[in-house]
Amino acid sequence: MKTRNGDDLFIIAGVSLTITLAKGKPADVKRQMDYLVEKGPKVGLILGCYYAILMSELQTKIRQFCYFCQGLVYKKGTVGEFNKGLERERDWLFGKMKAQSSTKMEFFEVKHLDKRIYTERIRDFLPEKVIDIHAHIWLKENNAGPDHENRVVRWASSVAEENPVEDLLETYRLLLPGKSVTPLVFNMPTKGKNLDTLNRYVSESAKKYKLPPLMLSRPEWPAEEFSERLQGEGFLGVKPYLSYAPSHIPAKEIRIFDFIPRHQLEVLNRQGKILLLHIPRDGRLKDPVNLAQMLEIEERYPDIKLIIAHVGRAYCSEDIGDAFKILAGTQKMFFDISANTNETVFRQLIETMGPERILFGSDLPITRMRMRRICEKGIYINLVPEGLYGDVSDDKNMRAVQGEEAEKLTFFFYEEIMAFLEASKTIGLNKNDLKKVFFTNATFILQNAGFGN
């Protein structure tokens, strides 16, 4: 075999993962490896390639692997020869990817398992039109990584290095085929970058594809500047982040008003804008400071469209406490279910708020992760295929699994929806109720915040 230019190939190869490694003996492994060495090309032979590099974000994984594997050259060819061939093939591959980017290239794998889950357990329960109230878009060239890294979980950044708006829209085509999805979009908080650059990308993308946008904000912006930024780019509201709270405040002590201060809340209230709020603190939804400030926002700023993201980060039942009893008297705040898969939490949410104040949100691209979530002693743990997201052994919220258990894992995105549908079934919600959660409620919020006006 030769390349298109008539050069010798280099080969990435290994033994059978499902047969030899799973059921064979050391001698079987050696025999297969010896065969590869004997029959391999003179330019280079890379041994032991793990299947996970071919999954998830193809361009990112291949790029990482290309640089990594330069140290794994078999001595039948020189490093110089190998690098030259590797770079030539890599450049061709990336060129093909770029050329095909406008033809809806599938940039992550959707397995038969995933398609069956969607068809049998999800598709017929969702309305034809869906609004995703919680979706990130960003460009790698504009984003330098998480801001104040000690204030955010690490695992969420392992799914994608970037998520251009085109990738987000393609994700909906792959994960929700047959549905028309409109996302509320905003950027990802990053360090060392002017938020104007990040917000401008969101604003331009929203105008290009006729999507509703939210703005990232800094608490130090005066009221007049905050108002001008909102109105100048046509944002429907803000997604403030605890990452931007003053750096002298310890992460565990950050309060809501430290990153979305009252003078900015007054602007949002006056303009009737959206506040999509990711609450801080280890106590999550049950934290008394969080609850007090959530109630204050509803009472003092009644025209803000307040959305509590991730059901207040109540990912385990231990995160609830008496929160829903305290919040039972509220009239206006909404909750999105993004990146949450806890059926018990969803049941209590539905029982307390009813379907009229619940919103579907995905937190894409994070929920492209292939995983299943469990809780142990009040701590959530994402079970993921070993190697797919790197070494997760030092992350308390991640655990690698192998074999049949790994093969059964589907997308975080589907796990969230299935958990909510199960909770809805238990409570007795009907199709019209589900339409409220997945479309009607968000339509009301977006229109009243100025979308389409």
- Per the structure, how many domains does the chain have? 2
Q: Any residues with CB less than 8 A from the CB of 447 and at least 6 apart, and which?
A: 453
Instruction: Please check whether residues 210 and 340 belong to one and the same domain.
Output: yes
Banded model confidence at residue 48, pLDDT cuts 50, 70, 90: low
Q: Could you tell me if residue 400 is inside a domain?
A: no
Q: Could you tell me if residue 4 is inside a domain?
A: no
Instruction: Please check whether residues 99 and 231 belong to one and the same domain.
Output: no
Q: Of 295, 291, 285, which Cα lies nearest the Cα of 316?
A: 285
pLDDT digits (tens, 9 = 90+) for 252-275: 999 999 999 999 999 999 999 999
Instruction: Please check whether residues 150 and 96 belong to one and the same domain.
Output: no
Whole-number mean pLDDT of the chain?
A: 86
Cα gap 239→335, rounded to integer Å: 14
Q: Could you tell me if residue 137 is inside a domain?
A: yes
pLDDT(148) > 70: no
Instruction: Please check whether residues 84 and 140 belong to one and the same domain.
Output: no
CATH number of the domain residue 158 falls in: 3.20.20.140
pLDDT(169) > 60: yes
- Residue pair 44/8 in contact by the 8 Å Cβ criterion: no
Q: Of 297, 265, 259, 261, which Cα lies nearest the Cα of 278?
A: 259
Instruction: Please check whether residues 232 and 350 belong to one and the same domain.
Output: yes
User: What number is the average pLDDT over the span 101-121?
Assistant: 82
pLDDT(52) > 60: no
pLDDT(133) > 90: yes
Token output for 25: 């003996």
Question: CA 450, 200, 369, 282 torsion: positive or negative?
Answer: negative
Percent of the chain exceeding pLDDT 90 equals: 70
The continuous run of DSSP H or E covering 73 comes out as none
* Cα–chain center distance at 438: 18
Instruction: Please check whether residues 123 and 183 belong to one and the same domain.
Output: yes
Q: Could you tell me if residue 133 is inside a domain?
A: yes
Instruction: Please check whether residues 224 and 76 belong to one and the same domain.
Output: no
Per-residue H/E/C for 348-416: HHHHHHCHHHEECCCCECHHHCECEEEEECCEEEEEEECEECECCCCCCCEEEECHHHHHCCCEHHHHH
User: What number is the average pLDDT over the span 387-395?
Assistant: 94
Banded model confidence at residue 74, pLDDT cuts 50, 70, 90: very low
Question: Largest Cα–Cα distance of the chain, in whole Å?
Answer: 76
Last residue of a domain, one of 54, 86, 103: 103
CB neighbourhood size of 393 (10 A): 8
Query: Alpha helix locations (H) across 210-261?
Result: 223-232, 256-259
Q: What pLDDT score was predicted for residue 56?
A: 41
Q: Which domain holds residue 42?
A: 10-103
The continuous run of DSSP H or E covering 74 comes out as none
The Cα-based distances of 99 to 92, 94, 103, 314 in angstroms read 10, 9, 8, 43
pLDDT(13) > 80: no
Per this entry, what is the length of the chain? 453
pLDDT(201) > 80: yes
